[in-house]
Amino acid sequence: MRLRGKLVVTTVAGIVAAGVPGQASALTDLPPIGSDIAIDGPTIGDHHDVLGTLLPSTLLGDAVVIVTPGTDDDGLFPRVDGIIGDRRSKIVQYPEALWPIATGKSGRLLPFFAPSYDESRDVAVDHNLQIMRAFKDVDRVVVYTGFSQGAEALGNAAEQAASEGLLGPNTMILLVSDPRGPWGLKSGLRDIPFSGPVMAVFGAESNGARDPAETGDTKVVEVIVRGDPVADWQWNPLRPASSLLVNGAGFLAIHAGTGKYSYAHLENLEHESTLYSAEGDTTYEVYDTYHPLALLQYTIAEAVGIPVSDATMREWDRQAERFYPLQEVSPATADPAAEVVSDAPAGRHRLLDDDGRWAEPDQNAARHRAPRHEAADDPVDTTVDRPAAAVDVTTESTPDEPTPVVEPATTDADPQPAETSTVETSPADTVDVPTDSGPVAEIS
């Protein structure tokens, strides 16, 4: 995996420079919502505007954002900074728990006494439905967004709300790292024997990928960062240990982290592609970042105060990709239960503008892309200011091997960017490396 982003000149409208976050004024002109259901969210200071890349900016001036956090979501801010911005918001209240790992906001002293995943999620589903019923006829755009467990809860609520006719034409559902996405955790686990009973132990149903048709004409956007195992589950049955290793690294560095290569800073990532559901009206915005194993090393180096150069990151990324090529996020690799296509089907629902006409997102709005890396023929600084301990990643992996690591780039390192692995349509489908169990791994 590599970052191939282009430097984007960010518009003034795309960045808001204000003070520190502060509590927003009460939403007195909107239907009242009890504090046990949702509380007023803060207004955000400096941020890159995420919503402006998805919706017409002319409609967002008085938009309301309803946020459903993830499990024990300490990283809620800054991850939603670019979604809320200076707009008014509400934060949905629910346990955010996962028995027996996280108590979240359940009020339980120990995780062993916390609600199960499904019990926690279902509270969030109910609270979102109550808000959707109350906000059914408001005269402004309402953006509902959720992350991880919150994304599953919001997606489930949206399906029920759509069937009840609660979601108007100016409603948008924004699911960030949805475990029920076409490439998500719950889709991938269904291919692993006995995963259902294991999930049941944690009180989580094995409900697979969601059907986009269930939300009908409601505009749904899913945000996926490659390498995040909740939204982009990696699994090679011939390399189970390596698969779990990569998923674990992706969870720590991409999903749970708030560093500059995570969901908290999409402006540092490449917007790789936009895909569409064949049924319903769901758009999948796919972002690329460094390989999870490279990011795990970066996270460790950053934690101990060791700066890492861009050239070193590219070298770590190149070697990690050789060790375990990531599966592409594409229509071919999507769950068959949620058919995905590359081109937008005709007649997509769009939000209404002030004149009652269909509105499109601004074509000139700043897209979130990584700053351009040095061109292949440009001189690059391949040194690390304070080199981390030298480590090595080989192309072999066994279940007993330690975490694969790689050497920092040296001044004679090849500055060419690593090629992104192609899974479905190139000869790279078959990766000629020894696997955990011996045979050559075939990525499919």
251 pLDDT band, cuts 50/70/90, is: very high
60 pLDDT band, cuts 50/70/90, is: confident
* 6: in domain: no
Output 177 or 381, whichever has higher pLDDT: 177
- For 338, residues 6+ apart whose C-beta sits below 8 A from its C-beta are 181, 182, 187, 209, 210, 211, 212, 277
Residue-level pLDDT at 51:
81
Residue-level pLDDT at 86:
86
Output 45 or 398, whichever has higher pLDDT: 45
* 339: in domain: yes
Output 28 or 396, whichever has higher pLDDT: 28
Q: Which range is least confidently modeled, 8-17, 115-124, 342-351, 360-369? A: 8-17
* 1: in domain: no
Q: What is the mean pLDDT of the chain?
A: 79
* 124: in domain: yes
Residue 140's domain spans which residues? 12-442
Residue-level pLDDT at 96:
96
Mean pLDDT confidence for 89-107? 94
| Tens-digit pLDDT profile for residues 194-248 | 888 989 988 999 999 999 999 999 999 999 999 999 999 999 999 999 999 999 9
354 pLDDT band, cuts 50/70/90, is: low
Q: Which range is least confidently modeled, 147-151, 238-242, 297-301, 392-396? A: 392-396
Which H, E and C letters describe the chain, residue by residue?
CCCCCCCCCCCHHHEECCCCCEECCCCCCCCCCCCCCEEECEECCCEECCHHHCCCHHHCCCCEEEEECCCCCCCHHHHCHHHHCCCEEEEECCCCCECCCECCCCCCCCHHHCCCHHHHHHHHHHHHHHHHHHCCCCCCCEEEEEECHHHHHHHHHHHHHHHHCCCCCCEEEEEECCCCCCCCHHHHHCCCCCHHHHHHHCCCCCCCCCCHHHHCCCEEEEEEECCCCCCCCCCCCCCHHHHHHHHHHHHHHHHCCCCCCCHHHHHHCEEEEEEEECCCCEEEEEEECCCHHHHHHHHHHHHCCCCCCHHHHHHHHHHHHHHCCCCCCCHHHCCCCCCEECCCCCCCCCCECCCCCECCCCCCCCCCCCCCCCCCCCCCCCCCCCCCCCCCCCCCCCCCCCCCCCCCCCCCCCCCCCCCCCCCCCHHHEEEEECCCCCEEECC
* 4: in domain: no
pLDDT at 339 over 60: yes
* 158: in domain: yes
Output 393 or 19, whichever has higher pLDDT: 393
Cβ atoms of 285 and 271 closer than 8 Å: yes
- Reported pTM: 0.76
350 pLDDT band, cuts 50/70/90, is: low
**386 burial level (CB within 10 Å; 0-12, 13-18, 19+):** exposed
pLDDT at 20 over 70: no
Percent of the chain with pLDDT over 70: 70
**Which residue's entry shows tokens 């199960």?**
116
* 2: in domain: no
* 371: in domain: yes
- Beta strand 64-68 with 142-147 is parallel
Q: How many domains does the chain have?
A: 1
Q: Which range is least confidently modeled, 245-254, 310-319, 343-352, 392-401? A: 392-401
379 pLDDT band, cuts 50/70/90, is: very low
pLDDT at 122 over 80: yes
